[in-house]
């Protein structure tokens, strides 16, 4: 069967290949994709409630993910009245560096068949495509 050349199909295929490869890297690091997502949001969120809003997940899901990260020593939570303050531990900060390195390696692998000019054009076109869909 011939592969589709439709842009949406190609973007979908690229997404799933990148996601599968990235999840494989995360598994080696010892975290799940949802835990990774929480770590990315913890760069901005300082409370469990802020994290819940930014991740757009249920309270139960956020609590489960945070409990797992806490058990792994990646975050610390501190109760202050009715809220929980959340912060990354040194282990969590090191983990973010490791994740960043894995992401850069996957970017390089994805761009291996492209020249520098093609990379620039590709990224510009992706941004335009995203902008076009954001208006929906």
pTM as predicted: 0.76
- Residue-range domain boundaries for the chain: 7-104
* Integer Cα distance of 74 and 91 in angstroms: 5
Among 115, 75, 42, 111, residue whose Cα is nearest residue 53: 42
Residue with the bigger pLDDT between 43 and 112: it is 112
124 CB-near residues (< 8 Å, 6+ apart): none
Taking 80 as the threshold, does the pLDDT of residue 98 lie above it? Answer: yes
Is pLDDT at 1 greater than 70 in this prediction? no
Whether the CA torsion 111, 112, 114, 120 is positive or negative: it is positive
Q: What is the pLDDT of residues 99-128, one digit of tens each?
A: 999 999 999 999 999 999 999 999 999 999
Q: Residue 50's pLDDT is what?
A: 85
Average pLDDT over residues 36-48: 85
Q: Which fold has domain 7-104?
A: Arc Repressor Mutant, subunit A (1.10.10)
> What residue has token string 């208006």?
135
């Amino acid at each position: 069967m011939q592969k589709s050349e439709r842009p949406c199909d190609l973007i979908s295929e690229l997404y799933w290949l990148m996601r599968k490869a990235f999840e494989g890297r995360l598994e080696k690091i010892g975290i799940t994709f949802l835990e990774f997502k929480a770590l990315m949001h913890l760069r901005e969120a300082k409370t469990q409630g802020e994290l819940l809003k930014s991740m757009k997940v249920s309270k139960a899901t956020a609590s489960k993910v945070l409990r797992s990260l806490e058990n792994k020593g990646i975050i610390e939570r501190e109760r202050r009245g009715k809220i929980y303050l959340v912060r990354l531990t040194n282990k969590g900060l090191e983990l973010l560096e490791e994740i960043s390195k894995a992401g850069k390696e996957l970017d390089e692998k994805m761009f291996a068949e492209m020249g520098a000019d093609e990379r620039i054009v590709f990224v510009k076109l992706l941004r335009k495509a995203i902008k076009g869909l954001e208006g929906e």
